[in-house]
Amino acid sequence: MDEHIADSIGRPDLIRLDDSLVCLRFETMKVVSALSAVRTLLDKDIIKPGGTLLDSSSGIYALALACHRYGMRCHIVGSTTIDDTLRAQLAVLGAHLEQVPPSSNLKLDQKRRVERIQEILRQHPDYHWMRQYHDDIHYLGYQVIAEQIRKEIDTDQLTIVGGVGSGASTGALTRYLREHSPGVELVGVQPFGSITFGSEQVSDPDIIIAGIGSSIPFANVNHALYDTIHWIAFDVALAGSIDLLRRHAIFAGLSTGAAYLTARWERNHTQQRTVVFIAADTGHRYVDSVFARHHQAAPIEELAPHRATTPSDIALPWSRMNWNHAQPLTAGRSDLST
């Protein structure tokens, strides 16, 4: 029996969609990393019970739940995109939320939030900044998920597909799985406009898919873990989300739609491999922007990626490139000759 709702929310389900395609479905994925990170910081006496944890990332609800679970105070610097539902939950959970002024683009929004974090730390040096996008401590929670996958799936011929984001979910799962099965392959999904793997020169005319890309460098993305990268635009991801619900009754977010299409393509073009894709959250916050537009969704059989050989080759609405475990030369760039 669980002792707290966060324990239940962080536990994913493995759902077999066909013989070689599996969905790793979370209700709220980042809860698993937030719980483990806070517990580890307490165990190591890096933070004190009842202290204040500070963050500004997309995992703010997960942090609020972890703080509630372990009796910590929570201070969040949020984007203007936080909706009324999340704002109300954060307030009732006891998290202190402040939102930065509206910005003309994602890069400016992220920059303002980091600047505000620095101001708060100068005023309150006893606060602990969780640094979700920079601290490897957020990898730890995925070890138990890797163990769950190993118990239920043969990992000798396994491919993991998921949004890159901070690198924690896909990177950590693959790192732990490769300890037992070195042949596990990792396919990362990115939005256009993200610098992490070098697509900042291509803008999605509709929207950057939240949570799987960034306009600023993320220090805990290990580029060398990735075999392949797919870049997917909003309309393509929308088609994936709609097809996943229609075909398999899985109601999940926009990044899941992108991962699902990527996983289907990889499954169809590889021999004798099982492909597991990550569904990071439910589809509730995408009801108006995605699911209400289901009649606009293109048939996924008509969609396929453009084959790119370097980041400069990528193009809307969907591109794929062999990354081949390359290390980045600079933020968002990589040496693809390795």
Indicate the fold that domain 5-29+137-322 takes in CATH: Rossmann fold (3.40.50)
pLDDT of residue 107: 64
pLDDT of residue 63: 96
Residues 126-153 as b/e (b if ≥16 CB within 10 A, e otherwise) read: ebbbbbbbbbbbbbbbbbebbeebbeeb
Residue 265, C-beta contacts closer than 8 angstroms, at least 6 positions apart: 230, 304, 305, 320
Q: What is the pLDDT of residues 269-315, one digit of tens each?
A: 988 899 999 999 999 989 999 999 999 999 999 999 999 999 899 99
Q: What are phi and psi of 268, to 5 degrees?
A: -75, -15
Coil, helix or strand for 298? coil
Annotated domain spans of the chain: 5-29+137-322, 31-129
CATH 3.40.50.150 fits 31-129, yes or no: no
Is the fold of 5-29+137-322 the same as that of 31-129? yes
Which two structure tokens, joined as six digits, stand for 171? Answer: 């990177």
pLDDT of residue 104: 58
Residues of the chain with pLDDT under 70: 102-108, 208, 210, 329-338
pLDDT of residue 73: 98
Please calculate the CA angle 161-188-102 and round it to the nearest 5 degrees.
115
Whole-structure pTM over 0.75, yes or no?
A: yes
